[in-house]
Structure 1
Amino acid sequence: MRRNCTKINNYEQQSQMLMERFIEKGYQEEPLRQEIERIKHINRDFLVRDNQRTQGNRQYEFAVCLDYNTQHKDVDNIIRRYWGLLCNDPVKTKIPLHPKFIYKKANNLQMSLVKKCISEAPMHHYLRKITFSFDSNEPVPFFNEHGEFASPSKVTNWVLHEDQSLTFRDVGTFTAWASEDQQLQINTSLITWKRGDKVPVSRCSVPCLPGSRKIPGSSIHKCCYGCTPCAEGEISNTTDSENCMKCPDEEWPNEEKDRCLPKLEEFLSYTNDSITAVFSSLSIHGFVLTGFIFGIFIYHRDTPIVKANNRNLSYVLLVSIMLCFLCVFFFLGPPVDVTCRLRVTSFGIIFSVAVSSLLAKTVMVFIAFNASKPGNSWKKWMGYKLSNCIMLVCSSVQVIICVTWVSISPPFQERDTRSYQAKIILQCNEGSALGFFSVLGYMGILAAVSFITAFLARTLPDSFNEAKYITFSMLVFCSVWIAMIPAYLSTKGKYMVAVQVFAIMASSTGLIGCIFFQKCYIILLKPDHNTKTHLLGSKIKL
């Protein structure tokens, strides 16, 4: 090491590194340090003195140490071809006829040329004599006395023309002793590229743009790779990204997959969904129509057709249907906790009141028919008290179910981020599935009892018997809600809410159409039929 290092500070640095390696292997530090100090004071000229070995006719070997690489075969050929130039030196008697090559890992220039049987001094002598002509015609030394570059290197642009002629143009310089940012100076405007003005790219892979990530290629080199788009829900916002990043639950990648955007919120919007405008318009028209019928019944309250079958129950039924049309608006717009609690409970209680009124009407038809028989005890049940009691009791059960449900596990707003990838569903969570289906189940029981009762009473010989109209209305009501259940369970998001709204409006329209349209026809267009004598005489059944 002392022989190879021309400067003492290089020897100290290299010997310190070598000593640390020996210490790591378990050697003691003090003997190593003493040996380093001893060799440090030896004269280097003595170490580089010729070591001669006589072998037969006094042949010498010269070893050239190179990194092991298949490309260095070209270096071998160049050295062998121009080896004869060294024979022109006065010390040619020490130069062998052929060089010997040794392949090993070389760390620097000092280790690239290794002396084996002859001194390094002659080789250093040849290197110091290398000259090169720059701007001037006079050759100048390539190295100074310390073995360093004496002049800056030029960067030359070789231009191959179509006629296969070459021209050379200096486009920059490289100064080894300058600061790192000033070493290489190139004027890119002077460069002539092979493909016009397009600068060639020195890489074997196309850069992976944002929105994709790198994948290992077929080459063993790390710089050669492939690109693949990020998976669904992931992005990459840098070039040549190793991995893609997953977007938060409430965000989703854009089309380029280079940034996350807030997911679209889905609900029955007043501004973006035309079906919401349709539902709103139909609900308002239904409410106005029902209010118009209610006004007609109030104005003609003393006429026989209005007084038949308990006009108070008709008033309650009409008000209930009006409220059913209005409760549709609880389902439209973005859901919040308050509207979620009022959705099912409101239409559940209101429909229970309406169906209870129809049940009370049908029961009163039975009682009226039986009370008309001589000596029958059903007469004591005639009057408003029984009908009102039936309506209140049946409605109270639904009120108790709804209050219990809201008190124990009330519905609430929910943001569903998993059903769809690119949007969030704003919906109402029932809180308790038992409470939700209990409300619907009780309403179905009331409708079934009313349907069966009205069906049995439809043929009773009563002039004011409207049981057959109640039968048709309950048939429509039950058909709508039975068809709603599978549609409700098979849809999600705003379409599930639309199914509920449609069921409410269809059943409300069925009730008012089957029960009140015939009566309004007689009141408005056939007023001569709206008399007790005419009804009893013609047996018009309502």
Structure 2
Amino acid sequence: MTSQVIFFHDTFSLMQPPLQMLIDEPLSVPKNYQHILALVFAVKGINESPQILWNRTLGFHILDSYSFAKIIYKATLSLLSTWHKFVPNYEYDGGNSVIAVIGGSVSETSAIMATVYSLYKIPQITYGVFSLPQSDQSIVSSLFQMVPNESEQYMGVVWLLQHFGWTWIGLLAEDDDNGDRFLQTVLPMLSKNGICYAFILRTLKQTYMDEYADLVLKQLENYPILMDKKANVYFVYGVFSSLQHLRLLMFFASVYSLPPLDKVWIVTSQWDFESVPFQRTWDIQGFHGAISFTVHSNQPPGFHDFVQNIKPSWAKGDGFIQNFWEQAFGCSLKSPSGDVNSKTSCTREEKLESLPSTFFEMDMTGYSYNVYNAVYAVAHALQAVYVSRSKARTSVRGGKVEVENVEPWQSITFNNSAGDTVRFNENRELMVGFDVTNWVTFPNGSFVRVKVGSLDPQAPLGKALTINDDLIVWHGSFNQVVPVSVCNENCSPGYSKKKRKGEKFCCYDCAPCPEGMISGQKDMDNCVKCREDQYPNKDQNHCIPKNINYLSYKELLGIILVVWAISFSLITVLVLGVFRKHQDTPIVKANNRKLTYILLISLLLCFLCSLIFIGRPGKVICLLRQTAFGIIFSVALSSVLAKTITVVLAFMTTKPGSGKRKWLWKGLANCVVLLCSFIQVGICALWLSTFPPFPDTDMYSVNEETVVECNEGSLAFFYCVLGYMGFLAIGSFIVAFLARKLPDSFNEAKFITFSMLVFCSVWISFVPTYLSTKGKYMVAVEIFSILASSAGLLCCIFFPKCYIIVLRPELNEKEHLIRRGKMKE
């Protein structure tokens, strides 16, 4: 029993010549004869295999549609009638049965066939791209596609454009419904992914060649559009007619001496270099370096040898080989005539491998590979039917045998002889990836396909497209450098895009990033801020980690402050030692030795407490810094205030008739010191119990540094501590100022007045200086203020006395002091 497969061959068509001066006979596309050979090779392999169909024979019948709807409809309906009699819906069963139809290679042919075969549930397998509007999907219920969905390769093209940074491209699409659907699908994809089109050119749809040539001549008016210097990449909806349109356009451009189109052509899977006979000498160098997304194909074992054995008389019943042979080799298989214009006779020994690639390829092309797989899909589906019937349970009902219904087409999966797995998805589309192919052309009209990558739609996002840039051969005009196709130069890192008013978003100016912001990549829409622990570099193109900074013992400023603090501490100890050694001398006794010792020890601690401001602050250090400084300074100022009050009261009570002796009691000075110090201790205790200082980092004050510092917790308490010290200093200054005219031999009023003037000057200037500095220098300002104010007290109050004690001991006698006192009075 023989099962018939019908093969619609709609690209081996006869056309009128474009110009009578070029050729005077019908034209065909010789290259597409390989589709027929792929069909024959597949059927031959199936019939010779004992594993498939089990002694059943698979036959085929080929119909040429000539790419015209009227002929396609007639050929389609002829399959529904008896052979050689065109009576649709009437078929005489002669033993051969039509089990499937394969075809065609373009959507129009497949759609026309599907409108008829869907009514009869005859499986149809299309080996070319098939697309219909959503509203027409009902007619494809029994149609299977040997290519993936078109939109998958469109997304691959978008990823390819992004890979090379091409954002300004030209679009070419056929001027028909397919071209409209292409643009409706692609334009949103491009826009969503940051790609713009410089122009859209509608190529001519297939028609009679004499009309076609006239239309191409009119299209030359659009040639300057194709010469866009910014757009070096053109994305073409690459059907056969589009290729022919472009080749004719380039041919006429060369005739009129127009500049060549040296561009990168990106084309869809329908693209193939196919020539009709009169284009034998036409140059295809303009397409050198083109990139196409082709359905993944392979080479079945034995096909190359099978093709080499093809001769004009290789098989009976082949109605295509004579036309193919004559037009491919430019000779005649008929007996020579006396006409001087007749072709030379064919030797019938011509070699197919000698033909240019545009006329024939020895390796199986993508379309032919689809035909090959389509035939095997039919065979495996038929095999599934036979297996199901042999295993099906039958029951006799009314004397008839009923077989369970099976639909083998819904689950076709098999491995072909080339090692590829063939299976369909739920939409009856072949589940297979695309090969990214680089077309390398040669002056003799030949070319080679170089696989430079692949597209796997089922792969995770970001890994679907793989490209090997080093394998790609670009057009010679680019000097093997990756072409640039952008509206304007890319914005370098450190700049961001600034939209041009009234132009597409791919055309923009470049604006430098604002201070404190960066752009780390080309063509960033907006500059961004660095993380808190980083800062922009000079060029504002990347972030640099901030240095951890604080006032350290190892840096010069820290060393200088430490030296000063230790030096003043040693001087204070030396002064204390002098006063302790001469504690019984009049000048020491006259100024309350206990208050003097308290003041000197307080000043010593003031110098030493400045050291805790140096180094990396910790939790304990932060708690101690301001509180220790505030309390110690308050004790020192309280001692100065107590000394001044004691001196004033002492002179007031020594005046004759004074009634104020009761104010001068022994513990007065100690009470003043304790009371004034206790108030400061209370403020600090309240501070520590409510909003205590803690270690913190300042990311913003200094651009390039992360400053480790003590957060004061509450600035209000901090300024309260400073304010209270200022209150004590001003009080001491006022009292000392009032007592400045008392006899010098018995009081320190003048020295205290001057020391308080120095102290107040230092701390008044401290506040604005502290607020205007940043980072570690704020700490340095406070340390300097501590050292300067403490040194002012030490020098102004004690250095004059040390001078007398050490260098003028004769002045440190009671008689001299009494004598000087009387002289003052």
Distance 2:357 2:533 in 1: 71
Distance 2:687 2:502 in 1: 66
| Corresponding residue to 2:711 among 417, 429, 432 | 429
Q: Aligned pair in 2 of structure 1 residues 507, 108: CA closer, same or farther (>3 Å)?
A: closer
- 2:483 aligned partner: 202
| Corresponding residue to 1:391 among 663, 666, 673 | 673
Question: How far apart are residue 532 of structure 1 and its match?
Answer: 1.0
- 2:204 aligned partner: none
Q: Aligned pair in 2 of structure 1 residues 214, 514: CA closer, same or farther (>3 Å)?
A: closer
Q: Aligned pair in 2 of structure 1 residues 497, 241: CA closer, same or farther (>3 Å)?
A: same
Determine if contact 1:106/1:112 at 8 Å carries over to the other structure: no
Alignment pair present for 1:4 and 2:10: yes
- 1:24 aligned partner: 134
Determine if contact 1:310/1:384 at 8 Å carries over to the other structure: no
- 2:591 aligned partner: 309
Instruction: Write the letter of the residue equivalent to 2:615.
Output: G
Instruction: Write the letter of the residue equivalent to 1:261.
Output: I
In percent, how many aligned pairs have the same letter?
A: 41
Instruction: Write the letter of the residue equivalent to 1:24.
Output: Q
CA deviations over 1:111-152 (Å, ceiling 9, x no partner): 9999xxxxxx99x947971349x99997679545999699xx
1:383-462 correspondence runs (5 A): 383-461=665-743
Determine if contact 2:328/2:355 at 8 Å carries over to the other structure: no
Q: Aligned pair in 2 of structure 1 residues 523, 154: CA closer, same or farther (>3 Å)?
A: closer
Question: How far apart are residue 324 of structure 1 and its match?
Answer: 0.9
Q: Structure 1: any 5+ residue segments left out of the alignment?
A: 38-59, 83-104, 115-120, 158-167
Distance 1:363 1:348 in 2: 22
Determine if contact 1:219/1:225 at 8 Å carries over to the other structure: no
Q: Aligned pair in 2 of structure 1 residues 489, 135: CA closer, same or farther (>3 Å)?
A: farther
CA deviations over 1:132-177 (Å, ceiling 9, x no partner): 9x99997679545999699xx97448xxxxxxxxxx9x9x96148x
- 2:248 aligned partner: 75
Worse-superposed segment, 68-77 or 260-269: 68-77
Distance 2:357 2:761 in 1: 107
Determine if contact 1:488/1:496 at 8 Å carries over to the other structure: yes
- 1:252 aligned partner: 535
Determine if contact 1:480/1:506 at 8 Å carries over to the other structure: yes
1:76-475 correspondence runs (5 A): 78=251, 108=270, 125=323, 129-131=327-329, 143-144=359-360, 155-156=441-442, 174-175=448-449, 199-204=480-485, 232-234=515-517, 246-255=529-538, 257=540, 259-272=542-555, 274-374=556-656, 376-461=658-743, 463-475=745-757
CA deviations over 1:451-473 (Å, ceiling 9, x no partner): 11111112234741211111111
RMSD: 5.0
Determine if contact 2:535/2:546 at 8 Å carries over to the other structure: yes
Worse-superposed segment, 531-540 or 324-333: 531-540
Q: Aligned pair in 2 of structure 1 residues 480, 193: CA closer, same or farther (>3 Å)?
A: same
1:471-486 correspondence runs (5 A): 471-486=753-768
Determine if contact 2:352/2:360 at 8 Å carries over to the other structure: no
Q: Aligned pair in 2 of structure 1 residues 538, 61: CA closer, same or farther (>3 Å)?
A: closer
Distance 2:524 2:658 in 1: 93
1:39-54 correspondence runs (5 A): none
Q: Aligned pair in 2 of structure 1 residues 108, 64: CA closer, same or farther (>3 Å)?
A: farther
Question: How far apart are residue 74 of structure 1 and its match?
Answer: 7.2
Question: How far apart are residue 308 of structure 1 and its match?
Answer: 0.9
Distance 2:730 2:814 in 1: 33
Distance 2:329 2:656 in 1: 145
Question: How far apart are residue 417 of structure 1 and its match?
Answer: 1.5
- 2:148 aligned partner: none
CA deviations over 1:186-228 (Å, ceiling 9, x no partner): 999x999889xx7444224667666666777999899887766
Partner SS state of residue 568, structure 2: helix
How many residues in Structure 1 have an aligned counterpart in Structure 2? 466
Distance 1:381 1:141 in 2: 124
Determine if contact 1:213/1:242 at 8 Å carries over to the other structure: yes
Distance 2:591 2:724 in 1: 25
Determine if contact 1:270/1:277 at 8 Å carries over to the other structure: yes
Distance 1:113 1:355 in 2: 106
Instruction: Write the letter of the residue equivalent to 1:203.
Output: V
CA deviations over 1:421-466 (Å, ceiling 9, x no partner): 3322333222112211111111111111111111111223474121
Partner SS state of residue 667, structure 2: helix
Determine if contact 2:653/2:660 at 8 Å carries over to the other structure: yes
- 1:98 aligned partner: none
Instruction: Write the letter of the residue equivalent to 1:4.
Output: D
Determine if contact 1:130/1:141 at 8 Å carries over to the other structure: no
Question: How far apart are residue 521 of structure 1 and its match?
Answer: 0.8
CA deviations over 1:216-263 (Å, ceiling 9, x no partner): 799989988776666555556666767666431111244455543211
Instruction: Write the letter of the residue equivalent to 2:448.
Output: F
Determine if contact 1:327/1:343 at 8 Å carries over to the other structure: yes
Determine if contact 1:207/1:240 at 8 Å carries over to the other structure: yes
| Corresponding residue to 1:516 among 782, 785, 798 | 798
Q: Aligned pair in 2 of structure 1 residues 128, 74: CA closer, same or farther (>3 Å)?
A: same
Question: How far apart are residue 533 of structure 1 and its match?
Answer: 1.2
Distance 2:506 2:273 in 1: 30
Q: Structure 2: any 5+ residue segments left out of the alignment?
A: 1-6, 13-34, 36-100, 116-129, 145-207, 224-244, 256-266, 277-318, 331-349, 369-438, 455-467
Partner SS state of residue 129, structure 1: helix
Q: Aligned pair in 2 of structure 1 residues 76, 209: CA closer, same or farther (>3 Å)?
A: closer
Distance 1:267 1:380 in 2: 54
Partner SS state of residue 427, structure 1: strand
Larger helix share, 1 or 2:
1
CA deviations over 1:331-373 (Å, ceiling 9, x no partner): 2222333222222212211111111111111111122123223
- 1:525 aligned partner: 807
Determine if contact 1:212/1:228 at 8 Å carries over to the other structure: yes
Distance 1:80 1:264 in 2: 65
Partner SS state of residue 617, structure 2: coil
- 1:494 aligned partner: 776
Instruction: Write the letter of the residue equivalent to 1:75.
Output: L
Determine if contact 1:128/1:141 at 8 Å carries over to the other structure: no
Distance 1:367 1:453 in 2: 11
Determine if contact 1:367/1:381 at 8 Å carries over to the other structure: yes
Instruction: Write the letter of the residue equivalent to 1:130.
Output: A
Worse-superposed segment, 409-418 or 446-455: 409-418
Q: Aligned pair in 2 of structure 1 residues 480, 217: CA closer, same or farther (>3 Å)?
A: closer
TM-score calculated relative to the size of structure 1:
0.70
Instruction: Write the letter of the residue equivalent to 2:483.
Output: S
Q: Aligned pair in 2 of structure 1 residues 28, 325: CA closer, same or farther (>3 Å)?
A: closer
Distance 2:482 2:502 in 1: 18
Instruction: Write the letter of the residue equivalent to 2:104.
Output: Y
Q: Aligned pair in 2 of structure 1 residues 140, 432: CA closer, same or farther (>3 Å)?
A: closer
- 1:97 aligned partner: none
- 1:94 aligned partner: none
